[in-house]
Amino acid sequence: MKEAGIRRLLAANLLCVFSVILTAVVPAFFWEGFTVLGTHLTWLCVCSVCVSTLNITLHLVLKPNQSPKRSSFAYKISRFLKCCMYFFMSCILFHAIIVLYGAPLIESVTETFLFAVLLSTFTTLQCLCMLGPNIQAWIRVFSKNGATSIWESSLQITTMCSILGAWFGAFPIPLDWDRPWQVWPISCSLGATFGYMAGLVIAPLWIHWNRKQLTYKSR
């Protein structure tokens, strides 16, 4: 396994971490009273847009899973529209799952949906950038020993860390601490964000430490 590839992965992941940090700092210079907790819904939108833009840009620049076949313009448009549809369906699905796990059904609909958008940005968007709207490829990557590159291994780790972070973030909500960050969905969205950033850092380090045991086969 080439060290250059791992360094590229690390650099790309650190850029994503840095972009998340900037979303909590930079808007305060242009938006009076902006804080992650105080204007949480605004931050959810800013973070989702910035992370999405950077992920798409990195994919177009680095092209980790570029197909050797040339695609027609019509195919690219069709693929783009499918990706948009899959992303929207992912937001709806995450919203439904979050409600089933106890989020308010009628109240806080906006908060729940924006949290679902953020979670989709950390998980589904990466899959769409890396694998496209190909469900079989998604199933392959998230099956045991299904990754065929370091980028797909990183995708596995960051996706699982984001979901686990959101899940652990729900634990403090029912506790009678009366803290501002316990308001729905602040702790869950922060948990997902910290999980996402942790996954971005852990993935290249784990791949580096296990590079001798990792053998990727093209499929």
User: DSSP letters of the chain?
Assistant: --HHHHHHHHHHHHHHHHHHHHHHHTHHHHSTT--TTTTHHHHHHHHHHHHHHHHHHHHHHH-TT--SS---HHHHHHHHHHHHHHHHHHHHHHHHHHHHTT--SSTTHHHHHHHHHHHHHHTHHHHHHHH-S-HHHHHHHTSTT---SHHHHHHHHHHHHHHHHHHHHTTTTTSTT--GGGSTTHHHHHHHHHHHHHHHHHHHHHHHHTTTT------
User: Does 219 have pLDDT greater than 90?
Assistant: no
Percent of the chain at pLDDT exceeding 90 = 70
pLDDT (average), residues 100-122: 93
- Higher-pLDDT residue of 22, 105: 22
Question: Rounded to whole angstroms, how far apart are CA atoms 53 and 61?
Answer: 12
Q: Which residues contact 141 (CB under 8 A, 6 or more apart)?
A: 127, 131, 147, 152, 155, 156
When pLDDT is cut at 50, 70 and 90, the band that residue 180 belongs to is confident
pTM across the whole model: 0.93
Output the pLDDT for position 67: 60
Query: Which residue type is seen at 35?
Result: T
Q: CB of 118 within 8 A of CB of 90?
A: no
Tokens in use for 147? 């990754």
Q: CB of 158 within 8 A of CB of 194?
A: no
Pick the closest to residue 122 from 44, 208, 61 (CA basis).
44
Output the pLDDT for position 126: 94
User: Does 18 have pLDDT greater than 70?
Assistant: yes
User: Does 12 have pLDDT greater than 90?
Assistant: yes
- Higher-pLDDT residue of 64, 13: 13
**Look-up: residue for tokens 């650099």?**
11
pLDDT tens digits for 146-163?
888 899 999 999 999 999
User: Does 19 have pLDDT greater than 80?
Assistant: yes
User: Does 123 have pLDDT greater than 90?
Assistant: yes
Output the pLDDT for position 35: 93
When pLDDT is cut at 50, 70 and 90, the band that residue 218 belongs to is low
Q: CB of 132 within 8 A of CB of 79?
A: yes
pLDDT (average), residues 97-118: 93
